Chain A
Amino acid sequence: MALLETHGLTKSFGALTAVNAVTLRVEAGAVHSVIGPNGAGKTTLFNLLTGAFPPSSGQLFFDGKDITGTPSHRVAHLGLARSFQRTNVFPALSLLDNVWIAAFARNVSRRGLTWRRAQHYPETTERARSALADVGLAEKANHLAREISHGEQRQLELAIALAAAPRVLLLDEPAAGLSPDETRKMVALVRALRGRYTVVLIEHKMDIIMNVSDRISVMHFGSLIAEGTPAEIQRNPDVRRAYLGGAAA
């Protein structure tokens, strides 16, 4: 049984079909990458998977349950956490608060919501701190998010997703806009997530993809045109034509 599954998922914006009848199965524990040229519909697919907006048609299953049309804040409670392609943090809050907010959201009980001091949630704070430590930002816990470098903000972006202790982690180009050095760090981070989480990864950089993926789905003009292991994808002539040959060359 796949942990995350879609059947004919479609999203149209007016005349544009950004995601076209996508049927996808993400196995528990796998690192499943989604690649495709700019504008292929990858981010839109993530928006559908997380309930940011409802699909025009098709269905979405998480852990065997139909969650089509569930709003994003509820999807988050089920254990789907995402990071964003464009850094999307809480600028004027400390790094610790950034991840604390995400960690607290997953608590089943919200006891003391309006009353108890935030420090008096040791488990939540612990989870928040360890998410920061996972991405190497533990020392900067008290800095404000807007004060750290772009590379560090990308790491924070990932930490916010991790703090939710998710069952599925959706990463949208975690290495976007990073220097070669920072990219290497990020690749190491994503590699370290293998086995701990089920990961769906969007990425442009081929070396990262080939390096960390168990399976790869290729999107082109909103549709899936191929799926397979990294080796199979590299050999696939359609993929070469649509992606490797054209846009990425």
Chain B
Amino acid sequence: MRALVLILAAICVLPLIVRPAIAAEIWIFAIFGLGLNLLLGYTGLLSFGQSTFFGSAAYVAGYLLKHHAIGLPLALGVGIGIGALSALLVGYLCVQRSGLYFIMLTFALNQLFYFVAYQWTSVTGGEDGMPGIPRPAILGIGLTEPLHYYLLVSALFLLALGLMKRIVESPLGKILQAIRENEVRADAVGYNVPRFKLAAFVIGGAFSGAAGVLYAMLFGIVPLEAIGFVFSGNVVFATLIGGSGSLYGPIIGSFVFIWLSESMSVVWARWPLLLGVAFVIVVLFFRGGVVEAWSRLWRFSKRTA
């Protein structure tokens, strides 16, 4: 409840502090992070290929928006579907492996998708990206106004968060955590472990897909980076900084990450250094990211008070 109030407050305040486009990007990236964290935090699977789903959805929905003038709900539906479908494909190939092989395979398949996008210039625009993606109006309300679009993104983010909360509190959420804790026992008590990992992939992919479409409409373009490995790395990075052990970790991570990258990149070209430092601090001292640092601080202040 307290978390919800904080998030609502942040949604209201954010566009007053930063440009609406950046504010929207934060929530979009948070949706992307929610999807990743079902894999990373809940199932214990480090996927280094999340932009496969994000980018594929952005390209397909972007293409349909641009050339076939589809409506916004359909664009979102297509994005979610493509995100889930590509995750089904990639997940199917990955869930049988474990450890480093798993991580490398998610990465390698991401590269494969990247090169398809890179080469297929007639559709994707290759390095130049796919520009000219419109933001269709919804229910007669135009979304070209940045603040309108921001509100839509915020509403969809809240929906995504509510959905993810239900999922992680459902039996499925418990089973995924059990798999993270002990695959052998999860199998022994009767769960088809690869099948459940695949489910986590597909759900995570659907969230990534939604984020991808929103991203394409936000900037009016699908840049090639949207399907690149840096993007995949960024969402892992942001989630770890925020804290993969909590539902809200990726949201905080998205905040820190987007805000740092947008505000620092203009004043200091070497800003990724800051991220590096933040990451090292997390790895060395706060494995649970900002969420853990915060709760430790909270306990500490209560003890000393």
Cα distance A88–B169 when bound, in Å?
Answer: 24
- The CA-CA distance from A74 to B171 in the complex, in Å, is 18
Within 8 A of B (CB), among A194-234: none
Q: Are B174 and A97 in contact (CB under 8 A)?
A: yes
Whether A117 contacts B170 in the complex (CB less than 8 A), given A88-B184, A92-B181, A93-B177, comes out as: yes
Please give the distance in Å from A123's CB to the nearest CB on chain B: 13
| A116, B189: Cβ atoms closer than 8 Å | no
Name A73's contact: one of B170, B171, B182, B190 (CB within 8 Å).
B190
Residues of B within 8 A of A93 (CB): 174, 177-178, 181
Q: Are B174 and A115 in contact (CB under 8 A)?
A: no
CB pair A115 B185 closer than 8 Å: no
Is residue A34 within 8 Å, beta carbon to beta carbon, of the partner chain? no
A19 proximal to B (CB < 8 A): no
Q: Are B174 and A81 in contact, CB atoms less than 8 angstroms apart? A: no
Given A52-B188, A72-B187, A77-B190: A100 and B169 interface contact (C-beta under 8 Å): no
Q: A121 and B192: CB pair below 8 A? A: no
Q: Which residue of B lies closest to A77 (CB)?
A: B190
Q: Chain A 103-133, CB within 8 Å of chain B: the 1/0 string?
A: 0111000101111111001000000000000
Q: Are A115 and B190 within 8 A (Cβ)?
A: no
Q: Is the CB of B174 within 8 A of A100?
A: yes
Out of A101, A113, A114, name the residue touching B189 (CB < 8 Å): A101
Chain A residue total in the interface (Cβ 8 A): 35
Please tell me if the beta carbons of A160 and B181 are within 8 angstroms of each other in the complex: no
Chain A positions within 8 Å of B97 at CB level: none
Q: Are A118 and B182 in contact (CB under 8 A)?
A: no
B175 contacts A by Cβ under 8 Å: yes
Is the CB–CB distance between A112 and B185 below 8 Å? no
User: With A73-B190, A73-B193, A105-B191 known to touch, is A118 a contact of B181 (CB < 8 Å)?
Assistant: no
In the complex, which residues of chain B have a beta carbon less than 8 angstroms from the beta carbon of A110? 171
C-alpha gap A91/B189 in the complex (Å) = 15
Answer whether residue A42 sits at the interface, using C-beta atoms and an 8 A cutoff.
no
B104 within 8 A of A: no
Interface membership of A89, Cβ < 8 A: yes
CA distance A84 to B178 in the complex (A): 16
Task: Pick the contact of A118: B174, B185, B189 (CB < 8 A).
Answer: B174
Considering the chains assembled together, what is the distance between the CA atoms of A90 and B176 in angstroms? 11
Q: Smallest CB-CB separation from B169: which chain A residue? A: A117
Chain B residues in 8 Å Cβ range of A160: 185, 189
Instruction: Answer yes or no: B166 CB below 8 A from chain A CBs.
Output: yes
- Please tell me if the beta carbons of A105 and B189 are within 8 angstroms of each other in the complex: yes
Closest A residue to B180 by beta carbon equals A92
| Chain A residues with CB below 8 A from B191, complex form | 73, 105
A97 → chain B closest CB, angstroms = 6
- The reply on A102 being an interface residue by CB < 8 A is yes
Knowing A73-B191, A164-B189 are in contact, say whether A115-B181 is a contact too (CB < 8 A): no
Give chain A nearest CB distance to B183 CB in angstroms.
10
Interface string of B170-212 (1 = CB under 8 A from A): 1111110110011011111111110000010001000000000
Asked if B10 is at the interface (CB within 8 A of a chain A CB), the reply is: no
Contact A112 B170 (CB under 8 A): yes
The reply to whether B167 and A114 form a contact with Cβ atoms under 8 Å apart is yes
Residues 117 to 158 of chain A near chain B (Cβ within 8 Å): 117-118, 121
The reply to whether A113 and B171 contact each other, CB–CB distance below 8 Å, is yes
Let me know if B190 and A118 touch, CB within 8 A.
no
Please state if A73 and B169 are interface contacts (CB–CB under 8 Å). no
Q: Check A101/B175 contact, CB under 8 A, given A113-B170, A114-B167.
A: yes
A76 near B172: Cβ-Cβ < 8 Å: no
Question: Could you say which residues of chain B place their CB within 8 Å of the CB of A102?
Answer: 189-190
Across the interface, name the chain A residue whose C-beta is closest to B203. Answer: A114
B170: which of A81, A100, A115 is its contact (CB, 8 Å)?
A115
- 4 pairs of A and B residues whose beta carbons are closest in the complex: A76-B190, A105-B190, A90-B181, A102-B189
**Footprint of A on B, CB under 8 Å?**
166-167, 169-175, 177-178, 181-182, 184-193, 199, 203
13 contacts between A and B (CB under 8 A): A52-B188, A88-B185, A88-B188, A90-B186, A91-B181, A91-B182, A97-B174, A97-B178, A104-B174, A112-B171, A113-B171, A116-B170, A118-B173
* Given A71-B192, A116-B171, A118-B169, 15 extra CB contacts under 8 A: A76-B190, A82-B188, A84-B188, A91-B181, A92-B181, A101-B174, A101-B175, A112-B170, A114-B172, A114-B199, A115-B167, A118-B173, A118-B174, A121-B171, A164-B190
